[in-house]
Structure 1
C-alpha cells in the first residue's frame, strides 16, 4: 500500500489529476449541451441531409484517434490553438459529443411524443414542454452521456498527446511520460486508481441507461 501513499507525495501527478478532472468536467458539460441539442434536432425534426449530419456528428467514433489527433493538430496550429487549454478542450469536446448523441438518441428511441402534444394542447409553452415533459423523460440518457463523456475525456491519451503542452498535462499523459523514463510500482498504483474511477462510472452508467444500449445491444 506504500505506493498508493507515494502518489500524494508526487505533486506532478496530483496536478495532472486536477487537470484531468477539470478538463473532463468542462468537456462533459459542453458535450451534453451540444450533443443533447443535436440529438433532439435529429430525432424530432425533418432536417435536410439528416443522414449526413448524423454521420458527421458521430464520425469521431469511426475515425482512428491517432488520425483525428494529427488532423486536429494540423488544423489548430494556424489558428494558434495547438498547445493551448482552449484547443485541448475543443479536441476533447469533439471526441465526447458522439457518445452523448448516441445515448440521447437511444433515450429518444422509445419516447412518446404524444406527451409533448398533450402538454401543448393543455396550454404549456414550448419551453415549459421541454423542461417539464421532455427533459425529465430523457434525463437518464443525458446523465449517462455526460458520465461517458467525462470518462472518455478523463482517460484519453492519443488525442491529448497532440494537444498537450509542457505547462498543461493530464494524468494519462503524466503516466505515459513516467513509463518512458522508469517503470516502477507507482505506475501500477496510479493506473489502478484510474481503473477504479472508470469502473465506478461504468457501474453508474449501467444502472442509469445500460452500457449495451449505446452499442445497439439489449439492456
Structure 2
C-alpha cells in the first residue's frame, strides 16, 4: 500500500513539473524559429529574432528601466529588510509574531489585490504613475523575501560571539560589521538577488503603477502580445527566463530557494 502511495506521489510530482515546464518548452524553441510567425515545433533555426531585439528601442529602453528599478528595489529592500530581520530575530519586541506577519504579508496577498490597493492609496498622494510610486511598490513586494532569507540566516546565529566582543569593549557598529554581517552575508546576498528578480519579472503590480512614459520589460512584452504575438516576444521572454534561471541557481547555491517560502526559527539574543 505504501509503495503504491509512493509511486502515486512521484507520478503527481512528475506531472506537476511537466505542467510547470510546458511554457518554457514552447516559448524557448519558438524564439529560434526562422519563420515570421511563432510555431511549435519551430520551423528551421535562426537567431534573427534575437538580433532584432537590438533594433527595437522600446525593448532596450524597457530593459534598462527594469534593471534600474530592480537594482534600486533590491538595494532598499536589503537595507530595510535586513534591519527588520535583525530586529525581529535579536530583540524581544512586543507583538513580534504580529509584526513579522505584517512585514511578510505581501507574500500571501494576491498581487492583483495588492496592486489595486497601492493604486487606491497612491493616487491621492500623487504617486500613481510616477517613478517614486513605482519604486515604493516594488520595495513593498520585495522586502518580505529579504526578511525571510535573513531570518533563516539568523536562525542558527551564535549571539555569544556578539556578547564576547561587547565584553571586550568593541563598538556595536564594529561588532555588526566584523561579526554579524560576514556570518549572514550569504543570506543578505540571496535576499538581494531574489528581490532583484522579483522586481525585474513583476507584471501584476507594475501594471497599476506605470505610465506611458515609464515602461519595464515585462510590461513591454505584455503590451506587445496584446497587439500581435510574433517570435520577437518569444526571444525577449527567453532572455528574461535565462536571467531568472541564472539568479535562481545563484540563490540556491548561496542559501536555498526553499528557505524563502519555508519557515524559520527566529532565535533571539
TM-score interval, normalised by the smaller of the two chains: over 0.9
Q: Deviations over 1:155-183 (max 9, x none)?
A: 00000000000000000000000000000
1:5 pairs with 2:51: yes
Instruction: Return the alpha-carbon distance in structure 1 between the equivalents of residues 237 and 55 of structure 2.
Output: 16
Q: 1:163: which partner in 2? A: 209
Q: Any idea what the Cα deviations from partners look like across 1:194-218, whole Å, max 9, x if unmatched?
A: 000000000110111111222228x
- 3-state SS in 2 of match to 1:82: coil
Q: Deviations over 1:125-162 (max 9, x none)?
A: 11111000000000000000000000000000000000
Q: TM-score w.r.t. structure 2 length?
A: 0.80
Equivalent-residue separation in structure 2 for 1:114 and 1:166 (angstroms): 54
Aligned to 1:28: 74
Instruction: Give the count of matched residue pairs.
Output: 218
Unaligned runs of 5+ in 1: none
Report the counterpart of residue 129 of structure 1 in structure 2. 175
Which residue of structure 2 aligns with residue 172 of structure 1?
Answer: 218
* CA distance in 2 between partners of 1:212 and 1:56 (Å): 21
Q: Which has the larger radius of gyration?
A: 2
2:247 corresponds to 1:192: no
Aligned residue for 2:126, secondary structure, equals coil
Q: What CA RMSD, in Å, does the superposition of the two structures yield over aligned residues? A: 1.1
Gaps of 5+ in 2: 1-46, 264-269
Partner of 2:117: 71
Q: 2:84 aligned with 1:41, yes or no?
A: no
Equivalent pair of 2:148/2:259 in contact (CA under 8 Å): no
Deviations 1:31-84 (A, max 9, x none): 000000000000001111111111110000010000000000000000000000
